[in-house]
Structure 1
Amino acid sequence: MAAKQVIGIDLGTTNSAVAVWQDGKAQLIANKYGARLTPSVVGLDDAGHLLIGQPAHTRLTTHPHLTQASFKRYMGSEAALRLGTQTFRAEELSAILLRQLKEDAESWLGQSITDAVITVPAYFNDVQRRAVKNAGKLAGLNVLRLLNEPTAASLAFGLLENREQKYLTFDLGGGTFDVSVIDMFEGVVEVRASSGDVQLGGDDFSEAICQWMLNQQPELKAALPAVKPILLEQAERLKLALSNLPEASAELIWQDRRWCWSMNEEQLDHCCQTLIARLQQPVMQALHDARFSLQELDHVLLVGGATRMPLVRQAVARLFGRFPRHDLHPDEAVALGAGVQAGMVMEDAAVEEIILTDVMPFSLGVETAKESYGRLEEGFFLPLIERNTWLPVSKSKTVSTVADNQTCVLLKIYQGEGRRVKDNVYLGEMNIEVPPRKAGEVSLDIRFTYTLDGLLEIECQHNESPNASRMVIEKVPGQMSQELIEQSLQKLNDLKRHPRDRQENRDLLLRGSRLFEVLLGEERAWIDNVMSVFEQALASQDERRIADVRQKVYEALSQFDERGSK
Structure 2
Amino acid sequence: MLINPVMGIDLGTTNSAVCLWQDGKAVLIPNKWGEILTPSVVGLDEQDNLIIGRPARERLQTHPSLTQGSFKRYMGTEALLTLGSRQFRAEELSALLLRQLKEDAEHWLGQPLSQAIITVPAYFNDVQRRAVKNAARLAGLEALRLLNEPTAASLAFGLLDNREQKYLTFDLGGGTFDVSIIDMFEGVVEVRASSGDVRLGGDDFSQAIVQWMLSQQPELKTAQATLAAQLLAKAEIMKQTLSHASEAKASLEWNGRQWNWTLTEEQLTACCQPLLARLQRPVQQALHDARFSLQDLDHIVLVGGATRMPLVRQTVARLFGRFPRHDLNPDEAVALGAGVQAGMVMADAAVEDIILTDVMPFSLGIEVVKRHGNQVEPGFFLPLIERNTFLPVSKNETLNTVSDNQTCVLLKIYQGEGRRVQDNVFLGEMSIDVPPRAAGEMSIDVRFTYTLDGLLEVECRYDGSPTVARTVIEKVPGQMSEEQIAASLRKLTDIKQHPRDRQENRELLARCSRLYERLLGDERAWVDGLTTAFEQALESQDLRRIAAVREEAENVLRQYESGTLQ
Query: Under a length normalisation based on structure 1, what TM-score does the superposition of the two structures give?
Result: 0.91
Structure 2 residue 473 is the aligned partner of structure 1 residue 465: no
Structure-1 residue corresponding to 2:139: 139
Give the 5 Å matches for 1:449-528. 449-495=449-495, 497=497, 499-500=499-500
1:96 partnered with 2:99: no
CA shift in 2, pair 1:148/1:280, >3 Å: same
Q: 1:227 to 1:371 in 2, by over 3 A?
A: same
Alignment of 1:528-547 (within 5 A): 532-533=530-531, 536-537=534-535, 546-547=538-539
Q: Which residue of 2 aligns with 1:352?
A: 352
Structure 1 counterpart of 2:562: none
C-alpha deviation, 1:167, in angstroms: 0.1
Aligned to 2:377: 377
Give the letter aligned to residue 90 of structure 2. Answer: A
- Looking at structure 2, the residues matched to 397 and 71 of structure 1 have their Cα atoms a distance apart, in angstroms, of 39
Match of 2:211 in 1: 211
Q: Partner amino acid for 2:178? A: D
Q: CA deviation at 1:529?
A: 8.8
Quote the Cα distance in structure 1 between the aligned partners of 2:110 and 2:77: 36
Q: Distance in 2 between matches of 1:324 and 1:476?
A: 40
Give the direction of change, closer, same or farther, for the CA distance of 1:534–1:54 in structure 2 (3 Å limit). farther
Q: Which amino acid aligns with 1:98?
A: L
The code of the aligned residue for 1:497 comes to: Q
For structure 1, list consecutive stretches of 5 or more residues without a partner in the other structure: 510-527, 539-544, 558-566
Identical aligned residues as a percent? 71
Distance across 2 between alignment mates of 1:147 and 1:372: 43
| Alpha-carbon shift at residue 373 of structure 1 (Å) | 5.1
CA contact (8 A) 2:500 2:538 kept: no
How far did residue 374 of structure 1 move? Answer: 3.1
1:121 lines up with 2:121 in the alignment:
yes
Whether the 8 Å contact between 2:175 and 2:201 is mirrored in structure 1 is yes
Q: 1:121 to 1:456 in 2, by over 3 A?
A: same
1:407-422 correspondence to structure 2 within 5 Å: 407-422=407-422
Matching residue's letter, 1:177: F
**1:490 alignment partner, SS class:** helix
Give, in angstroms, the shift of residue 498 of structure 1. Answer: 5.4
Match of 1:520 in 2: none
1:466: Cα distance to partner?
A: 1.2
Mind listing any 5+ residue stretches in structure 2 that lack a counterpart?
Answer: 509-525, 550-566
User: What SS does the aligned partner of 1:104 have?
Assistant: helix
Structure 2 matches for 1:7-22, cutoff 5 A? 7-22=7-22
Q: Alignment length, in residue pairs? A: 530
Map Cα deviations across residues 421-469 of structure 1 (whole Å, 9 max, x no partner).
Answer: 0000000000111111100010000000000000100000000311110
Q: Would the alpha carbon gap of residues 2 and 201 (structure 1) be closer, same or farther in structure 2, given more than 3 Å must change?
A: closer
Q: Residue deviations 1:17-42, cap 9 Å, x none?
A: 00000111101000000100000000
1:87: how far off?
0.6
Alpha-carbon offset, residue 189 of structure 1: 0.3
CA distance in 2, matches of 1:202, 1:551: 39
Closer/same/farther in 2, CA of residues 238 and 22 from structure 1, 3 Å limit: same
1:153-302 aligned at under 5 Å gives the runs 153-302=153-302
**TM-score, length-normalised on structure 2?**
0.91
How has the CA–CA distance of structure 1 residues 556 and 415 changed in structure 2, closer, same or farther, with 3 Å as cutoff? Answer: closer
Contact 1:534 1:550 in 2 (8 A): no
Partners of 1:459 and 1:535 in 2: how far apart? Answer: 65
Which amino acid in the other structure matches residue 252 of structure 2? Answer: L
Q: CA deviation at 1:495?
A: 1.4
Q: Deviations over 1:179-204 (max 9, x none)?
A: 00000000000000000000000000
Partner of 1:561: none
* Aligned partner letter, 2:535: A
Corresponding residue SS for 1:269: helix
Residue number in structure 2 paired with 1:513: none
1:396 aligns with 2:385: no
CA distance in 2, matches of 1:429, 1:531: 67
Task: State the shift of 1:533 in Å.
Answer: 4.0
Quote how far apart the aligned CAs of 1:500 are: 4.9
| 8 A contact 1:147–1:338 mirrored in 2 | yes
Per-residue deviation, 1:556: 9.0
